[in-house]
Amino acid sequence: MSRARASTRTGRNIRSRSTDPHRFIPVVVMSSSPLPEDVARAYTLGANSYLIKPVNWEDFRERIRALGIYWSAHVATPESISP
């Protein structure tokens, strides 16, 4: 059983999109599972992104670096564009 599946057994969702006061904070799931059902489940539970963990340490570091740049430099949220 993948970690994504194991973690969803204890909770119904990652967050409730409509009522959670933190709903604009991005949720990124990082898993070693490339299974389509695990990816779909993460999004169904409220994830904004699903990353498959690379095995190589340098690839992992680069993926995390790129993720940080993406969310901090390229994503607009209601809070980031409010007057």
Ordered by where they begin, the domains of the chain are: 3-81 (3.40.50.2300)
Mean pLDDT of 60-71: 92
Token digits for 1?
Answer: 């059983």
pLDDT in the model for residue 24: 75
Predicted TM-score of the model (pTM): 0.66
Mean pLDDT of 64-79: 85
Picking from 9, 12, 14, 54, the residue whose alpha carbon sits closest to that of residue 30 is: 54
Summarize pLDDT for 27-59 with one digit per residue, the tens: 899 999 999 999 999 999 888 899 999 999 999
Half-sphere exposure of 45 (CA within 13 A, CB side): 20
Tally of residues, the chain: 83
| pLDDT of 77 higher than 70 | yes
Query: What does pLDDT average to over the chain?
Result: 80
d(CA 40, CA 7): 14
d(CA 26, CA 19): 15
